[in-house]
Amino acid sequence: MVKKEITPLLAATLKALVYADLFDYPLKKDELWKRLISPKKVSRRTFWRLLPGWQKEGMISEKNSYYLLPKQEKNILIRESGERRWPPKYERAKKAAEILAGFRSVWMVGLTGGVATGAAKVSDDIDLMVITAPGKLWLTRILCWLSLKTVGRLKGLRVRRPNDQAPKDKICLNLFLDAADLKIDTSSRNLFSSYELILVRPLVNKHHVHSRFLYENRWAKRYLANSFPVLRTKWRRLRTNPADKFLNYLAFLAEGFYMRGKPGAKKITPTQAFFHPRDLSKRVLANFSKKCLSLGIPLDKNALTQ
């Protein structure tokens, strides 16, 4: 596809389209600008000035206000179909978030995963992340689980369990973070997790914790600089009540014993819990690298991970 020398900005644009193509998700003009895979911010004016030239050269296609790789116009129908399926799933997510918001220790509920993009597959479950008050992650997790199993069921919600082979429309509480420990571990910092981070849709956001979450994970700017807003540089240090910390640790030990041997637990600590039935990051990044190289797009493999 590529017949000319590629500038860093063109490379950032093509990589953004390649990544979107992996999910059959063509991008609108402003979405493409925000998702440029670049460690440096690019002004809209500069980007929009160069975009028509790349289209004329056949590097990029545009149809119905969507930008995508050449000969991938079929993905427009896939995205539009996903957008029509999205509203009912989003309403389910909001119902679940309203239930969880009733607990003082729930500071944030965010929609993540595929449904967070604004499109959905028929089989998609509804992934939620929960940020809790300091020192109350595992105690809060018990409350969240029980409330969705009881009150949630009365409202037509169902919770996904480990090994569930029929996840369609079920609520999956797949990520819990303590507000005092929001940084994603260094070993998990890569292009895939950067995209997951910027796509989170806050449904409940107490104490401005979503902004704090982005600030603590500003490392992701090295991949997606245009996606990050200007954030405050200082945050009040959060303190954990010793009694809460002790009770939380007991709950952590008890739940850890219960979950021992069960699939889907990627990382479990007193202040962070990641539950993912499938870890897609390695496969997505491998496919991304393969496609970039097949299209002649220069790729610094060291830029995929820190």
Q: Where are the domains of the chain?
A: 8-77+284-303, 85-280
| pLDDT tens-digit map of 116-145 | 999 999 999 999 999 999 999 999 999 999
Distance between CA atoms of residues 68 and 213, nearest Å: 31
What was the pLDDT predicted at 154?
94
Please, what CATH class does the domain formed by 8-77+284-303 belong to? mainly alpha
Residue 264 pLDDT greater than 90, yes or no: no
Residue 17 pLDDT greater than 60, yes or no: yes
Distance between CA atoms of residues 102 and 95, nearest Å: 12
Q: Do 119 and 82 meet the contact criterion of CB atoms below 8 Å apart? A: yes
pLDDT band at 96 (very low <50, low <70, confident <90, very high): very high
Residue 302 pLDDT greater than 70, yes or no: no
What was the pLDDT predicted at 120?
93
Residue 278 pLDDT greater than 70, yes or no: no
Distance between CA atoms of residues 126 and 135, nearest Å: 26
Calculate the average pLDDT of the chain: 91
What was the pLDDT predicted at 230?
72
What was the pLDDT predicted at 180?
95
At 219 the three-state DSSP class reads helix
SS3 content of the chain, % helix, strand, coil (to 5): 50, 15, 35
Mean pLDDT of 177-183: 96
What was the pLDDT predicted at 117?
95
Closest CA to 297 of 59, 35, 22: 59
In this prediction, what percent of the chain has a pLDDT beyond 70?
A: 92
Strand partners of residue 224: 38
* Through-space distance between the first and last CA atoms of the chain, rounded to whole angstroms: 29
| pLDDT tens-digit map of 30-75 | 999 999 999 999 999 999 999 999 999 999 999 999 999 999 999 9
**Which range, of 68-72, 162-166, 191-195, averages the lowest pLDDT?**
162-166
What was the pLDDT predicted at 2?
47
Residue 252 pLDDT greater than 70, yes or no: yes
What was the pLDDT predicted at 239?
86
Residue 227 pLDDT greater than 90, yes or no: yes
